Amino acid sequence: MSVNEAAKASLGGYMDSEKVEKVYTNYAIMYDQTFGRMVQQSRESAVRGLRIQPGDRVLEVGVGTGEALPLYPKNCEVLGIDFAEGMLKKARKRMEVHQLDHVTLRHMDAAQMELENDSFDIVMAAYVVTAVPDYRKVVSEMIRVCKPGGRIIMLNHFSNGNKMIAAVEKMISPLCKHIGFRTDLSLNTVLEGTTLVVERKKKVNPLRFWHLVECVNQKNGHVIPVVSA
Ligand SMILES: C[S@@+](CC[C@H](N)C(=O)[O-])C[C@H]1O[C@@H](n2cnc3c(N)ncnc32)[C@H](O)[C@@H]1O
């Protein structure tokens, strides 16, 4: 591996955008019956714990087929973004079926959001941080568009503190990236150098393999610099 490639991998430019988009567009047809169904209980518990206030603006990053969308109260405003058209198509259908007038969907790359600074009270990323080509850019964008003092919630698998399990996660990660996610990312790595402060962290089902991490965005109005991959 060249120095450039090594730097790219360590900085998060780990998966190819086109490939990830294609993987999820192809996966869309069976997503709800497979992974989507398996993690629905944890999505429900995540949204229940958001303590959404009337009028809150919520951003769902990597909204996928929109399985969380019917869970949001109708007195808030939700924007869902994703770059895989196949996933968004399913999400649009779900919006229609459930008549979700408080939800808007947009085709957008989470690494370059076409959204204003400080414009959301809550930013939610469910099973996304390890599924994006460049997590640093995406986390940086989530911080930018979230209001100072707003909350950023990540529902995700983060690599294990146990050395043996972490070694296995590192070993299988290059294989997993072909099916759209990586297994070797730790929460500390994701949060390093950001203004996010963990307020709540708990393991969630199935098998308590995933974590629900709620952070407060402690920025003071300045944009967090992105280290490009
Ligand atoms: C594992 S799925 C999770 C979907 C949904 N959040 C859920 O709970 O089922 C990951 C999603 O992230 C999207 N994604 C990956 N990289 C992205 C990016 N750079 N910009 C926008 N969406 C992205 C994928 O298209 C996919 O829909």
Tell me, letter by letter, the H, E, C secondary structure of 145-198: HEEEEEEEEEEECCCCCCHHHHHHHHHHHHHHHHHCCCCCCCHHHHHCCCCEEE
pLDDT number for residue 183:
74
- Pick the range with the lowest mean pLDDT from 5-14, 71-80, 204-213, 219-228: 5-14
> Please, which residues bridge with residue 77 across strands?
57
State the Cα–Cα distance between residues 142 and 105, nearest whole angstrom. Answer: 17
For ligand 1, pick from 19, 25, 128 the residue to mutate: most ligand atoms within 8 Å of CB: 128
Q: Is the pLDDT of residue 113 over 90?
A: yes
In a domain, 222, yes or no: no
Which residues form ligand 1's pocket by a CB distance below 6 Å?
A: 20, 24, 36, 43, 62-64, 67-68, 81-84, 87, 109-111, 126-128, 131-133
- Residue 173 maps to which CATH number? 3.40.50.150
Structural domains in the chain (count): 1
DSSP, collapsed to helix, strand or coil, labels residue 121 as strand
- 172 pLDDT tier (thresholds 50, 70, 90): low
What is the whole-number distance in angstroms between the Cα of residue 166 and the centre of ligand 1?
Answer: 24
In a domain, 128, yes or no: yes
- Written as one letter, the residue type at 211 is H
What is the whole-number distance in angstroms between the Cα of residue 132 and the centre of ligand 1?
Answer: 7
Contact call for residues 102 and 52 (beta carbons, < 8 A) = no
In a domain, 48, yes or no: yes
What is the whole-number distance in angstroms between the Cα of residue 136 and the centre of ligand 1?
Answer: 15
State the Cα–Cα distance between residues 162 and 166, nearest whole angstrom. Answer: 6
Residue nearest to atom 4 of ligand 1 (CA): 64
For ligand 1, pick from 83, 92, 155 the residue to mutate: most ligand atoms within 8 Å of CB: 83
In a domain, 46, yes or no: yes
**Parent domain of 185:** 3-217
> pTM to 2 decimals?
0.87
pLDDT number for residue 228:
45
Contact call for residues 217 and 195 (beta carbons, < 8 A) = yes
Average pLDDT in the chain: 86
In a domain, 210, yes or no: yes
Quick: pLDDT tens for 182-202.
Answer: 777 889 999 999 999 999 999
Q: Is the pLDDT of residue 220 over 60?
A: yes
- Pick the range with the lowest mean pLDDT from 7-11, 128-132, 139-143, 192-196: 7-11
Atom number, ligand 1, closest to the C-alpha of residue 31: 9
E-strand ranges in the chain read 57-61, 77-82, 103-107, 120-126, 146-156, 196-204, 210-217
- 11 pLDDT tier (thresholds 50, 70, 90): very low
In a domain, 223, yes or no: no
In a domain, 228, yes or no: no
What is the whole-number distance in angstroms between the Cα of residue 128 and the centre of ligand 1?
Answer: 5
- 70 pLDDT tier (thresholds 50, 70, 90): very high
